[in-house]
């Protein structure tokens, strides 16, 4: 029996940063900063974009318009969208690991390789065909919950790191295509497929942040689909803050913790809104997959928030933390002092628990 998706629960994959007709409302807000004689201006850009929303607050003498934001995100869409059959990611998967040497595509490949190595394969872009078959990608589910043979067939090329050579070879600034004969032979079309949706939304946040800084912004808060990155301070000198929701199905919940972000990025992943249901047994299957087996993981972690230097990495690590579980993520954090985590997990005796490396509220 094919698993059924819950329409009310938008998939994290389905709200990755792929923007079609982006609409933004620009609200100029004049605030008098303490100690400043002239009024300083900030701009709030808000809108909806293909199943998600964005909130971008810009401070300082930035020469940025809504059209700029639309262009930046549309440019990224043409590279990263798996829904667009002509995007560079789609071309990459169709043409035996050969595609234009584009800056964004090169960054996606390099980020995918970095996250694979950081997580010892817990986050693996080559899971693409399995993600699609379970219905957590672009289309509907095609894999039955009891089809072990079909899953084994899909897993044949998962874990193949032949595409690492492409990540090493790309430069992102060449007018030529990255053509590697040995990569093409090792990764034939239709065999190894790559899915970057576990961190592409965070990557788009990084792109907007870096673009705003390059255009003169002195500070910014960029949130797209719940993934956040900040730089600088607000006009009153205070830091930006983000609330982490309690994981509850079917409704928005109170904040489990409030996080202060100073030149950092934050991303959250969870299975409590993104799952499939077996129509026969009623069992829930979360969207976090075991990269070694292809099966949905029954994890003790309900929500994983990771705080790090870049949003793409935080986004990928949040997904990986869901796959690694509580204890392995705690071990990972202990070995990476530049990172913080807020993990919300279930305890059979104590109920909902929060493990955090951040100071308590």
Task: Pull the structure tokens for residue 251.
Answer: 């409704």
Backbone angles phi, psi at 14, to 5 degrees: -80, -10
How far apart are alpha carbons 30 and 81 in whole angstroms? 37
Angle between helices 197-214 and 103-118 (to 10 degrees): 130
For 2, 15, 25, 119, 128, the CA distances from 158, given in Å and listed in that order, are: 22, 24, 42, 15, 8
How far apart are alpha carbons 89 and 84 in whole angstroms? 9
User: In this structure, are residues 302 and 265 in contact, taking their beta carbons and an 8 Å threshold?
Assistant: no
Q: Measured in whole angstroms, how far is the alpha carbon of residue 239 from the centre of its chain?
A: 23
> Which residues pair with residue 178 across a beta bridge?
99
For 60, 67, 239, 267, 326, the CA distances from 256, given in Å and listed in that order, are: 32, 36, 19, 15, 17
The secondary structure of 131-145 as a DSSP string is HHHHTSSSS---SBT
Angle between helices 103-118 and 66-80 (to 10 degrees): 70
CATH 3.10.520.10 correct for 4-356: yes
Task: Pull the structure tokens for residue 161.
Answer: 């790191």
Task: Pull the structure tokens for residue 243.
Answer: 């609330």
Tens of pLDDT, residue by residue, the chain (361 residues): 343 344 333 333 333 334 433 433 333 333 323 333 334 578 899 987 656 889 999 999 888 999 999 999 999 999 999 999 899 898 888 866 666 778 999 999 999 999 999 999 999 999 999 999 998 888 888 998 889 999 999 999 999 998 898 888 888 876 656 544 445 556 766 678 999 999 999 999 999 999 999 999 999 999 999 999 999 999 999 999 999 987 765 445 577 889 999 999 999 998 655 444 445 554 445 578 999 999 998 888 989 999 999 999 999 999 999 999 999 999 999 999 999 999 999 888 888 899 999 987 5
Smallest CA-to-CA distance from 287 within 301, 276, 299, 300 is with 276
């Amino acid at each position: 029996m094919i698993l059924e998706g819950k329409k009310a629960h938008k998939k994290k994959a389905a709200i990755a940063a792929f923007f079609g007709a982006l609409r933004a409302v620009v609200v100029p807000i004049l605030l008098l900063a303490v100690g400043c004689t002239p009024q300083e201006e900030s701009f709030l850009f808000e809108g909806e974009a293909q199943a998600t929303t964005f909130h971008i607050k810009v401070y300082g003498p930035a020469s940025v318009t809504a059209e700029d934001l639309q262009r930046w995100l549309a440019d990224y869409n043409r590279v990263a969208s798996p829904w667009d059959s002509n995007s560079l990611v789609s071309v990459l998967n169709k043409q035996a690991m050969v595609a234009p040497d584009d800056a964004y595509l090169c960054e996606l490949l390099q980020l995918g390789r970095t996250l694979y190595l950081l997580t010892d394969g817990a986050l693996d872009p080559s899971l693409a065909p399995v993600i699609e078959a379970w219905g957590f990608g672009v289309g509907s589910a095609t894999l039955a919950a009891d089809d072990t043979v079909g899953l084994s067939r899909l897993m044949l090329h998962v874990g193949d790191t032949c595409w690492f050579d492409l990540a090493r070879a790309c430069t992102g600034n060449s007018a030529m295509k990255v053509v590697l004969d040995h990569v093409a032979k090792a990764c034939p079309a239709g065999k190894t497929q790559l899915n970057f949706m576990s961190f592409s939304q965070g990557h788009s946040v990084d792109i907007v942040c870096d673009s705003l800084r390059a255009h003169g912004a002195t500070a910014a808060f960029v949130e797209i689909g719940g993934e956040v990155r900040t730089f600088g301070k607000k006009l009153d000198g205070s830091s930006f803050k983000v609330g982490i929701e309690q994981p509850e199905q079917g409704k928005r919940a109170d904040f489990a913790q409030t996080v202060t972000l100073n030149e950092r990025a934050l991303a959250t992943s969870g299975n409590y809104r993104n799952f499939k249901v077996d129509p026969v047994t009623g069992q829930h299957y979360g969207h976090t997959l075991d990269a070694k087996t292809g099966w949905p993981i029954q994890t003790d972690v309900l929500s994983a928030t990771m705080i790090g230097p870049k949003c793409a990495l935080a986004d990928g690590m949040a997904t990986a933390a869901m796959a690694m579980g509580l204890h392995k993520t705690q071990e990972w954090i202990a070995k990476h002092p530049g990172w913080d985590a807020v993990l919300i997990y279930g305890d059979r005796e104590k109920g909902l628990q929060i493990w955090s490396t951040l100071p308590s509220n």
